[in-house]
Structure 1
């Protein structure tokens, strides 16, 4: 297997460690609520304080996602979003930003339908840095994980509260970029995680890997982000940003003048929360 090149991700987490702070990983659904608004949101995230961007690939059956992200996927699909258009969004972003890592997050079905090898080649060419594919377990690494790493993409794996000591090494075996710790049992955005339990879990994962650990699922406020930033290398916020889109749409589900601003303003607040927790969390 060839070397996996995760230069942008590695560089970003190294910079965060030098700064002595956790990173902010923002999740938005590509194409939600429409292509132009979605591109404007994506392009505005780094200046607002996003250190890493997860870009959701909409899918009709997002089984790991809660109501907010499910609704975002359906809005995006209704607006005509496709894998091709998602990759085009990354290309447009890369024309302005060569440094901020972008990770595509989603499910295997759209990738399989697109054609695995074609998808990997096009993703690398577009400027994608990694993948999170939530419905492919480590037992299926030959299907996508190993080819993705061969192509130069990080393959980021989820660890959960139900991942025990025996399972963890299996989960981590071919993981690269960072480890995404799911802080609650269940789907995205539906419960509030307990900072003490999360801290213990992060310490447990770090005993098995040198990769950075990002904590997500259920983080909605700057205060929550700050709490997790004290122990994790990064904090992931998704459902709250997607809800900010939904809350600003008009009665016909279309974007308003407030839509992009609402997401960007929330990212700024979250980034400030994480900055306030500057305690050498990433050291």
Structure 2
């Protein structure tokens, strides 16, 4: 079996590469900048130095169909990021290459009633629908991983916290379900290596519903540093983020946060069902990433 892992510079994909490699599964790391990849490799037992990586690397920009054939050659399964621009072409080339299974890193946002109109959900939904159509034709088996809020989203606060400034929050009491990136990678590993798990959609969440204010308090405990916040209006937050987030995305985020202001996020036990262990807590993630929040 050979697994193509797209977006291999990402936190989930890079962790998945290590899991597959450790399990002795042949894996190909794909990125639009493959020279920047550092996939797991062997170590020379005599010198103790790192030998040439035994994971192949390949260029695969999902917005450039010219990359698809070389990336897919000899591949049985794919871990796919949700890039909709050429998804029909990608699936057609995957079918010709003999790919049997695609595991998509989607998003729980596709479950919202307005997913098709939501700029954050729409791209994931478009790829899910294309995969479902391919599966209905019998071209490929499709599995959808639908994580909620990534714990790594907290890194957006690191600049302010390191500088000793309060974090600006438009909805301090908005709940989320922060999930550890390793749990998402382990869930992907499970569906890629266990044929009985293929062909379903899996809602992945962390084990707790936490407000933004509670997440900051957990970071304070993990880092031993104050993590104050300042409530701001949605318009103030949009203005402060205008150089980093398109307005339509900012509006979608604000709408989502408002919908969970004071309302716990729904949780699932899917991580435990797929991996055999409970989902890691945000406190564990904060401890592991504490240095990112220190000067």
Q: Shorter-chain TM-score: what band?
A: 0.3 to 0.5
Pair member with larger Rg? 2
Higher relative contact order (Cα pairs below 8 Å, separated by 6+ residues): 1
Q: Calculate the TM-score normalised by the size of structure 1.
A: 0.35
